[in-house]
Amino acid sequence: MADRLSALKPTAINAILAEVREAQAQGKDLVSLMRGEPDLKTPQHIIEACTRALANGRTTYPDNRGEKPFREAVAAKLERDNQLRYDPATEILATTGATLGIYAALMALIQEGDEVLLPDPVYDAYQSPVRLAGGRIRSVPTRIVNGRFALRADDLEYAWSSSARVLILNTPWNPVGTVLTREELTGIAAFCERRDVALITDEIYEAIVYEGHTHVSPLAVSPGLRERSVLVNSLSKTYAMTGWRAGYCAGPAPVIQAIYLILAQSSRGPSMFVQDAAGEALAGPQECVAEMREEYTRRREQVLSRLDGIPGVTMLQPEGGFFAMADVRGLHLPSNEIRRKLMLDHGVVVVHGAAYGPGGEGTLRVSFASGGETLARGLDRLREGLGRLAEG
Ligand SMILES: Cc1ncc(COP(=O)(O)O)c(C=O)c1O
């Protein structure tokens, strides 16, 4: 086996899933509020576009950059929703989900030993591709300020070293639920330009924002930033299309060409019929996105009201995404211990904040990507479990 495998770490979710399977094999009844997988169905008009494409024989090798109509739909979407202009011929690529976009961008941008700045806490699946690409992680500690995790340019400046080449930013920010403001992004953009740091901006939760919070692409705040950035996105969350593996990257032509060379070695793009459906999703009616957002808004309220008033527990108000962070520092126990007790003694599975980095210690991530009975039962168990731990 290759030495590079030692760079890989299972994601937090996969490590917890192994524990879940073991507990279930011993007969435990568990409710999971753990995963970031929407339980909503892919809208019908998108499915119909796919079956139409299949019936029309769209089953051969796709254009390795992505089918032209899909790239054009991405360009139109970026202009409509993000006020960003990219040339579909040279500045956009189709990828097999955001996962491959992030991997290929890192492979194209960093050299052996380069450092990649990652806010802490962070979506933990960024770490292994950084290491696979030969990079080193430089964490940017963040903390809760006024009830939300904040990332300031000062935090980046403090963490910066002369080996830092890339910053990965995710807004809305998984796991913490922060939507970075235009003001915060302006400071972050100035940092990147000042320190000659390239930006990979992962905007996969852009459509899921609450209560007057607006998603702003970091690239929309500073023209200079666009020239040193790769935007990564996918249809997984916005259109409940996780299993379709449809995503895209946009960036300056030379960078996109470099990413294309990497992609050509690892994937020949999502299937044509998937790209046709994805193009329909981006270009077709958008009411389904608003309906999903309304559903997540109701679930968010349900989570916040059900977990309100537990001694030692404060809920952070999610500004975007479908995760709520519970600040459990008042329980005076490590977050992983709280998670294990909730699973084994109370039958509910959440993710401990420390799984996303030391900055997440003292928190739990509660997912409301699943609703209905699952959410209601999970919240009942969580309320009872946290209440017991508070008494203890
Ligand atoms: C922040 C973030 N980026 C990327 C992904 C992966 O996206 P995709 O399904 O498009 O590969 C996820 C999935 O949970 C995520 O939370």
pLDDT digits (tens, 9 = 90+) for 298-313: 999 999 999 999 999 9
The answer to whether the CB of 234 is under 6 A from ligand 1 is yes
**pLDDT value at residue 223:** 87
| Residue 352 pLDDT exceeds 90 | yes
The answer to whether the CB of 233 is under 6 A from ligand 1 is no
Phi-psi bin for 10: left (phi > 0), alpha (psi -120 to 50), beta? Answer: beta
The answer to whether the CB of 172 is under 6 A from ligand 1 is no
Contact between residue 249 and residue 95 where contact means Cβ atoms under 8 Å apart: yes
Instruction: Indicate the range of 34-38, 200-204, 247-251 predicted with least confidence.
Output: 34-38
Share of the chain above pLDDT 90, in %: 95
DSSP letter at 62 equals: P
Nearest to 158 by CA among 119, 112, 198: 119
The answer to whether the CB of 170 is under 6 A from ligand 1 is yes
**pLDDT value at residue 314:** 97
Q: CA–CA separation, 71 vs 246, rounded Å?
A: 12
| Residue 374 pLDDT exceeds 90 | yes
206 φ, ψ (degrees, to nearest 5): -55, -30
Q: How far is CA 375 from CA 31, 108, 307, 368, 379, in A?
A: 8, 40, 12, 7, 6
pLDDT digits (tens, 9 = 90+) for 81-137: 999 999 999 999 999 999 999 999 999 999 999 999 999 999 999 999 999 999 999
From 35, 93, 123, 127, the mutation candidate for ligand 1 (largest count of ligand atoms within 8 A of CB) is 123
Structural domains in the chain, CATH included, are: 3-40+288-391 (3.90.1150.10), 44-283 (3.40.640.10)
| Residue 392 pLDDT exceeds 90 | no
Q: How far is CA 19 from CA 28, 276, 344, 348, in A?
A: 11, 39, 10, 12
The answer to whether the CB of 129 is under 6 A from ligand 1 is no
Helix (H) or strand (E) holding 120: strand 115-120
The answer to whether the CB of 38 is under 6 A from ligand 1 is no
Nearest to 273 by CA among 97, 14, 69, 76: 69
Number of H helices, E strands in the chain: 13, 15
Mean pLDDT of all residues in 143-153? 95
| Residue 74 pLDDT exceeds 90 | yes
pLDDT digits (tens, 9 = 90+) for 218-241: 999 998 899 999 999 999 999 999
The answer to whether the CB of 370 is under 6 A from ligand 1 is no
Residues 126-148 as b/e (b if ≥16 CB within 10 A, e otherwise) read bbebbbebebebbbbebebeeeb
Helix (H) or strand (E) holding 230: strand 229-234
Angle at 15 between CA 11 and CA 21, to 5 degrees: 140
Asked if the bond preceding 69 is cis, omega within 30° of 0, the reply is no
Beta pairing class for 229-234 and 247-250: antiparallel
**pLDDT value at residue 268:** 86
From 168, 179, 237, the mutation candidate for ligand 1 (largest count of ligand atoms within 8 A of CB) is 237
From the CA of 235, give the closest atom in ligand 1: 10
Q: How many other CB atoms are there within 10 angstroms of residue 277's CB atom?
A: 30
The answer to whether the CB of 270 is under 6 A from ligand 1 is no
CA of 264 to the centre of ligand 1 (A): 21
- 12 confidence band (pLDDT: 50, 70, 90): confident
Sheet holding 351-352, edge to edge: 314-315, 323-327, 363-367, 351-352
